[in-house]
Amino acid sequence: MEKQQAPVVVHPLMEGTRLVKIHGESVGKAHSAQDLEAFMSRFGLRDVDLDNPALVEWRGGGSSVWPQ
């Protein structure tokens, strides 16, 4: 059985931001968890536990890693 990908995937970027993909679609660059939550809200994903790996897949660091 193949593992299902989380609906939200957060990728690191060199500019100190994180690329956000929701359901495989790039939706923008987040500078903070608040930015990420705003993107998710636009897609109907509200009150999401950012540390739930079934919902959010973090690449290059978890929810507390926001490079400056």
* Cβ pair 64, 9 in contact under 8 A: no
The answer to whether residue 29 sits within a structural domain is yes
The answer to whether residue 66 sits within a structural domain is no
Closest of 43, 62, 67, 66 to residue 52, by C-alpha: 62
The answer to whether residue 15 sits within a structural domain is yes
Residues of the chain with pLDDT under 50: none
The answer to whether residue 23 sits within a structural domain is yes
Give me the domain span that covers residue 49.
Answer: 8-58
The domain total for the chain is: 1
- pLDDT for the residue numbered 2: 57
Q: Which residues contact 12 (CB under 8 A, 6 or more apart)?
A: 18, 19, 59, 60, 61, 65, 67
- pLDDT for the residue numbered 60: 87
What is the pTM (predicted TM-score) of this model? 0.87
| Averaged confidence pLDDT in the chain | 90
- pLDDT for the residue numbered 44: 94
Per-residue pLDDT tens digits for 4-18: 789 999 999 877 799
